[in-house]
Amino acid sequence: DAGITQSPRHKVTETGTPVTLRCHQTENHRYMYWYRQDPGHGLRLIHYSYGVKDTDKGEVSDGYSVSRSKTEDFLLTLESATSSQTSVYFCAISDQDIETQYFGPGTRLLVL
Amino acid sequence: AQSVTQPDIHITVSEGASLELRCNYSYGATPYLFWYVQSPGQGLQLLLKYFSGDTLVQGIKGFEAEFKRSQSSFNLRKPSVHWSDAAEYFCAVVMGFSGGYNKLIFGAGTRLAVHP
């Protein structure tokens, strides 16, 4: 398995609070991605990174921001959590843009 | 619009029976194609992928998939299902976009149940 960890694995928070999820990789892969998984939607891309300090938006980026200050870490921040952001969040990595993506174990987030 | 469709939300098969999970995509050029499996509470594991060459690809756990360009399909098959195959299966497709970034688009998934 690719060396990808996500923290926390589970989190319960209240509407309006900031939340940061962390993805850590030990593979030295260039590309990192954040997805959210919701029933009936599969996985949808939130943001991705193609290098340190290089990030861009995915299809469902509203309400989310990201940062990548080191190759191994990719942070996802919900500035002010809403109930619609209750979801399972997956981090993924790949060595090249079109290469296979490898997924972390996921973070289950509940916003009350 | 570029999209990936998995027509079957749920499928139930008996252990030992054959399995086919359908995947269709809408894209004008040749895509890169993947099948992932997700066990309950777990992340996604790659089963197989197609980039080019032989249109019948073999994957892990005895799975195979066939790319049919004329039908825009990439169906997943297994000749004999085991109880441990019960999981959710996702088809995913890389489609080029005008912005230059090749994004992985997922189907909604097919949940497989296996009866003993």
Position of tokens 């289950």? Answer: A108
- Give the CA count within 13 Å in the CB-facing half-sphere of A25: 27
CA pair distance A79, B103, nearest whole angstrom: 25
**In this prediction, what percent of chain A has a pLDDT beyond 70?**
96
Terminal CA-CA length for chain A? 33
Predicted confidence band at B84 (pLDDT cuts at 50, 70, 90)? very high
Q: Which pLDDT tens digit goes with each residue over B14-34?
A: 999 999 999 999 887 778 999
Continuous segment of H or E residues that includes residue B52: none
Contacts for B112 with CB less than 8 Å, ≥ 6 apart: B10, B11, B12, B13, B19, B21, B81, B85, B86, B87, B88, B89
CATH of the domain at B27: 2.60.40.10
Position of tokens 């790319």? Answer: B67
pLDDT at B104: 84
**Domain extent for B67:** 3-115
Predicted confidence band at A42 (pLDDT cuts at 50, 70, 90)? confident
A89 touches chain B (CB under 8 A): no
Put simply, the answer to whether A100 touches B49 (Cβ < 8 Å) is yes
What CATH superfamily is the domain A4-111? Immunoglobulins (2.60.40.10)
**Which residues from B are below 8 Å from A36, CB to CB?**
none
Count of domains observed in chain B? 1
Q: Kindly tell me if the per-residue pLDDT of A112 is higher than 70.
A: yes
**Extents of the domains making up chain A:** 4-111
A58 touches chain B (CB under 8 A): yes
